[in-house]
Structure 1
């Protein structure tokens, strides 16, 4: 019992949060490249009108993975990864988004990255669009314009044909439901108008469905999944009004999954759109496109749960830390105020599988925290090990006790990277510490944290060993004694 023999263990990143080299080899600017840095509790990230001289944009350098990918992948392999989820930057392949011919230098970079993964026997899981819409598509109105779906499908076809046989696991859009919470990240939409967001989401659904069908035509072995930003909520009380309020909150999130997994808009969403006077830009044949392009599996990010009810705040803002107007007194919170709820992971796995009867994969889960690099090059992060251990235990229960077919687990992010919510480096997730600060300054050297050695042992045991929390957190000393040591 426990994790399946073919379970996929690894980590997940996004191009705009690790690659840097934002204008190298013909790459064009993306929506991420005009997002400034924020400061926790002080200022929010800002969207600028183009790249402003003298402004700091974290994505422009990030952790310089573009030049250090071989070193980073070797570290992933040392942990035992058999899968690595990463995104391909659309504007590295089509710099403005609408070109008819791709940028060969951009494609060649991902050829080299895939070569490294192949060398280390790591399966690639590629996100086609991860908060990286080409900025050049703003002149079309971005995803509010149906033509952008055509540009996306051209881009997707280019990837599917170029990497045929090398990549067989794909995700069409990262956290597609973020169109309802942070539409700039989701697709370059800078509007709080629900009608604008819903038209943009409709075009992304069409693009995804067309891509799923295309992927199966190009290579029948391709498996294409959707990716849901894991918003899961508990009612504030047993009051039926709070239960109904929570149902309505979840419907605003889960309808994205309904469309991609079932191939049609659910009736509750169509009624809601009708009540709000929102008309979708439906054309003849669209229903058939959605029906024919349902996904093969469902993947999602899981960081927290919410509390909602009859007075849930109506407008949804932010990436993951939504302010619903309620709080949960039964769980602890991270340094960034995100609720820590391991049992909620088991609950969410069951909810998604029961609803869609599709294989499930957790492709983001992790703890953003302040880490300290010691003078001897060590980083002690027992809080991260504790967080991950507790979540993996609940995942194991979902598999063992509940029978949920979980495909794999890719932690976010296995190496420190730029936080999407704030643009900070100090909000660190990785098993690997990167010496870069919030201003983009540092040596960029990589250091193994204690969690690096812990996760390596977890993978080696296929999750049978998660560590004994009463016996201490790290087995880094044992690993170093075996001759591993810290990277100098």
Structure 2
């Protein structure tokens, strides 16, 4: 049973982040995985080398360079395609247990279809995975991280029901190649971001902007694609004694009412159903399928707008059965918290925003990052675990992303504070029974942050984008994270003895590189 009231004293710290209010020394258990993550489009570069096909992000940024702040796209990015050895060296410096990275679909299948497999692209990932395993770093492979092959997008992308089979064909190639080497698989990263921002809006590729229609088509197809890939692995690879786990990574930011007014509590419940339940319920809920409030709301508003049926596609009984239980773990991408109240904005209709009908704010005293949407509220991580544990019966989770953005510079004290606060919140959640495989810091290094370009830096390592070698330099947060991994505890007052983090005289062994 969740001990809801036990840690109220600790939550006062988590909310204010001014200092510990609890003197108990906690440690992360042996076997808990610490790691760092990246995604292919954001770090690899080499966008058209070695027979790689064009992705929808390549096309989006080439045709609309004005959407990228500073006009820096992913053509070169951090150039991990050529400097992956340095990336692995950085992971060894940190002493991590795992590295979460994604495979670029268009690097493996240039047209998106399985009739032409690019061996040069596979060789790159062969080499990366070999290098990780060589140093006892667990590869955590994301199969799709928002970079659909352009040719498939020309056919409608995730709004086309055939996308389910396209993804399964792609997944088959990856499973055949890497199931003996990769234990942890993430099928798809953040369906809500893909669908709501890319198909229901124009803020992300492919920029379809068919609000309230294309986004829901995308949701159904992308969830079925995940489920079919999961069942494929379950049938053909688990049965062959590959003891791997397959999950999906969802955006899991917390939301709570701005006050206790009934209308705002109801609005918050609805918002959670649209942003969490729409993706979790089909897999983890006892009933299965999309949440009732989501189905009812969209059906009602569709009818009011003259549609012959709901804009939210139905799930058949067979599809519901396919989805139910189709994950070994929930990948949690958690960054921040929002305060919710009943909507007062006249949103365009039909649209996802009109369907949800809420207004979002954040705490005025919460610490600000470089990103306008990202403020620190560590209590939100604790509370979202209370929520999913009660609603979905303690699902196995893997924090697949958590991070903080800053300006350039290696003295990133705000990232250090954020890291410590959220890891402390995670410890409290685990004490209350949360089943957590591990934690993934986002990101290993500065990357191209989609339409924000390189204006928002999320890296534990700073990347000098203006140098040919894309020089990587450890930030203060890298040293603090390294210390946490080594000791498995959070030392509030520990800071590096020196910010001289040049690495020319490192001590090396098979598994680590000492800074």
TM-score by length of 2: 0.82
2 CA distance for matches of 1:31 and 1:312? 35
- Per-residue CA distance 1:432-473 (angstroms, 9 max, x = gap): 111115xxx6651121222222111110112x1x2333x6x3
CA shift, 1:115, in A, is 0.5
Is 1:251 equivalent to 2:273 in the alignment? yes
Q: Aligned residue for 1:287?
A: 320
**Is 1:383 matched with 2:414?**
yes
Q: Please, which runs of 5 or more residues in structure 1 have no aligned partner? A: 38-42, 47-54, 373-378
In the alignment, the residues of structure 1 paired with residue 148 and residue 54 of structure 2 have an alpha-carbon distance, to the nearest angstrom, of 9
- Distance of 2:439 and 2:514 partners within structure 1: 26
Between the aligned partners of 2:205 and 2:225, the Cα distance in structure 1 is 12
1:169 corresponds to? 184
| Matched-pair contact (CA < 8 Å) for 1:306–1:324 | no
Could you tell me which residue of structure 2 aligns to residue 52 of structure 1? none
Which residue of 1 is the match for residue 31 of structure 2? 6
1:22 alignment partner in structure 2: 47
Check conservation: 1:336, 1:368, Cα contact below 8 A.
Answer: yes
Q: What residue in structure 2 maps to residue 219 of structure 1?
A: 237
Using the TM superposition, give the Cα deviation of residue 483 of structure 1 relative to its aligned residue in structure 2, in angstroms.
5.8
Native 8 Å contact 1:225 1:299 kept in 2: yes
| Contact 1:35/1:57 (<8 A) preserved | no
Match of 1:397 in 2: 428
The partner residue of 1:160 within 144, 168, 175 is: 175
SS for the counterpart of 1:23 is coil
The 2-side partners of 1:487 and 1:399 are apart by: 30
In 1: Cα distance, 2:133 partner to 2:275 partner: 36
C-alpha separation in 2, matches of 1:411 and 1:126 = 15
Q: Establish whether residue 339 from structure 1 lines up as the match of residue 357 from structure 2.
A: no
Partners of 2:56 and 2:390 in 1: how far apart? 36
- The CA deviation at 1:81 is 0.9
Task: Answer whether contact 1:2 1:399 (CA < 8 A) is retained.
Answer: no
Deviations 1:33-73 (A, max 9, x none): 13439xxxxx7449xxxxxxxx9551110010000001111
Q: Is the 8 A contact 1:245 1:312 kept in 2?
A: no
Q: How does 1:20-99 map to 2 (within 5 A)?
A: 20-36=45-61, 44-45=67-68, 56=71, 58-99=73-114
User: Where does the alignment leave 5 or more consecutive residues of structure 2 unmatched?
Assistant: 1-25, 303-309, 508-512
Tell me what 1:459 maps to.
485
For 1:26, what is the secondary structure of its paired residue?
coil
Listed as ranges, the matches of 1:270-281 within 5 Å are 270-275=295-300, 276=302, 277-278=310-311, 280=313
How far the C-alpha of 1:189 sits from its partner, in A, is 5.9
Cα distance 1:428–1:4, how it changes in 2: closer, same or farther (>3 A)? same
Deviations 1:307-337 (A, max 9, x none): 111126557899xxx9945332242221222
Indicate the RMSD between aligned Cα atoms, in angstroms: 3.1
Residue 198 (structure 1) aligns with: 216
Say if 2:460 is the partner of 1:431: yes
* Aligned counterpart for 2:405 among listed residues 345, 351, 368: 368
Cα distance per residue 1:394-434 (max 9 Å; x no partner): 1111112x1211110000001111112512x2311212111
Is the 8 Å Cα contact of residues 101 and 140 (structure 2) preserved in structure 1? yes
Secondary structure class of the residue paired with 2:115: coil
More displaced stretch, 110-119 vs 213-222: 213-222
User: For residue 336 of structure 2, what is the aligned residue in structure 1?
Assistant: 304
